[in-house]
Amino acid sequence: MDGPGEMAAWCTDAEAAGGAVVLSLDALPEVLDWPHLLGSGTARGGFLPGPT
């Protein structure tokens, strides 16, 4: 993923598929700096299907 624009598209696709994008962080920062979180290499994540 190259940036926040691609993250927005991924979130839209996840919502359309009935799920959510989930991120795993070592610690939740006080201020969410999405470009830093997504580009730092420290966050991990994936798709979580919604309940059926």
Give the pLDDT confidence of 5-46 residue by residue, as tens digits.
Answer: 677 788 888 889 999 888 888 888 898 887 787 777 777 778
Report pLDDT for 48. Answer: 83
Partner residues linked to 48 by β-bridges: 20
List CB contacts of 47: < 8 A, sequence separation 6 or more: 14, 17, 19, 20, 21, 22
Amino acid code (one letter) for 10: W
Q: Cβ neighbours of residue 14 under 8 Å, at least 6 residues apart?
A: 20, 21, 47
| Per-residue confidence (pLDDT) for residue 4, from 0 to 100 | 58
Of the candidates 20, 27, 26, the one whose C-alpha atom is nearest the C-alpha of residue 48 is: 20
Is the pLDDT at 3 greater than 70? The verdict is no
pLDDT above 60 for 1? no
The whole model's pTM is what? 0.56
